Amino acid sequence: MTEFRLPQGMRDLIPQDCERKQKFRGAIEGIFDAHGYQPVETPAVEYYETYRSAFGTVKDREMYKFLDQDGEILTLRVDMTVPIARLCATKYAQAQPPFRFRYCADVFKVRELFAGKRAQVTDCGIELIGGDSRSDIEVLSIALEVMDHLGLSGWQLEIGNTGFFRRACEQLQISEADASVLADLIDRKSLVDLKSRLDGFGLSAEGRRLLEELPMLGGSDALARAEQLSFSDGLRREVDTLRQLDLSLRQRGYGSRISCDFGKVPHLNYYTGIIFEGYASGAGVAVLSGGRYDSLLQRFGRDLPACGFSVKLDYLMDAEGGETE
């Protein structure tokens, strides 16, 4: 090979880039520290089997895979949540929860060729494992504090509750396979395809109305409209969960920065309750994402509820503003 090239999706950072990235990192980690989150590190390489246990269905093609000395399949980690769940369930099998961990590490995904997407991204985040019912609000307010502290020129945090969709499917007796097809269409707000798919389901009028409106069940009147569409106490309770969070975040002064979207239902085999993403002007993808994943830890042998989020430092680099002190 006479040329020296970068592998697909990889980037070098020159000092100016590093300086900006490290400023962000420092600001974020300072906040995590102040809230009592302790750093952990895990290896960049995990067994493929670890991810398969965690997800049930893994996105095979997104994982860098290779073999170890014994012919076992290894993979570059695709996130930090799964390794930390493994770490927590195995290293702290007996210890008393809650656990507050923070991390800053590179995660890897194989991306399509020539799409201009990053294959390696630095995730800087926290996991709150085994906490009580106040965990959601703790994690969300730290996420908001982080976004607020970065000096971005425009940003929003959007909160959803996957429990709403999950419960609706349960009560409408929609099979898991169908639910995951619907979840994908709803999450992509693919309104036309969703309607034609629902045609074949023979749902009650109220069930159909709810699922059909779900993708656009966001914005300022989301909570009120979700309440109207709810056809059971279970669904109303899910709306209420989000309303309580919305209310207490408003009381903390984040009213203009948060919004609700019930149509946010990605990766249903992973997220079990609230889910949220942060967006910043100038960045074409979410710069922060997180949520609740109560069934993940039990797959590693210790049944604990958990929630967390991470900031994608490399995506944050594209955002406007961010000249923190």
- The Cβ of residue 29 has, within 10 Å, a number of other Cβ atoms equal to 18
**Closer CB to another protein, 30 or 255, in the complex:** 255
Classify 125 as helix, strand or coil.
strand
Residue 158: CB minimum distance to another protein, A: 5
Residue 143: CB minimum distance to another protein, A: 14
**Closer CB to another protein, 14 or 113, in the complex:** 113
Residue 187: CB minimum distance to another protein, A: 9
C-alpha triplet 142, 256, 213: angle, nearest 5°: 95
Residue 30: CB minimum distance to another protein, A: 26
Classify 289 as helix, strand or coil.
strand
Classify 108 as helix, strand or coil.
strand
Amino acid occupying residue 131: G
**1 vs 11: CA distance, rounded Å:** 19
Residue 15: CB minimum distance to another protein, A: 25
**Closer CB to another protein, 14 or 115, in the complex:** 115
Residue 259: CB minimum distance to another protein, A: 7
Alpha carbon 91 to its chain centroid, in Å, reads: 24
- DSSP assignment of 20-64 equals HHHHHHHHHHHHHHHTT-EE----SEEEHHHHHHHHSS--GGGS-
**Closer CB to another protein, 85 or 157, in the complex:** 157
Residue 115: CB minimum distance to another protein, A: 7
**Closer CB to another protein, 149 or 257, in the complex:** 257
**Closer CB to another protein, 242 or 304, in the complex:** 242
**Closer CB to another protein, 299 or 312, in the complex:** 312
- The Cβ of residue 22 has, within 10 Å, a number of other Cβ atoms equal to 12
CA atoms within 13 A on the CB side of 180: 8
For the four alpha carbons of 257, 258, 259 and 264, in that order, the dihedral sign comes to positive
**Closer CB to another protein, 39 or 219, in the complex:** 219
- The Cβ of residue 10 has, within 10 Å, a number of other Cβ atoms equal to 11
Tokens of 20: 């900006």
Q: What is the DSSP letter of 187?
A: H
Residues that bind another protein (CB under 8 A): 112, 115-116, 154-156, 158, 188-193, 215, 218-219, 259, 277, 279-281, 283-286
Residue 24: CB minimum distance to another protein, A: 18
Tokens of 309: 């989020």
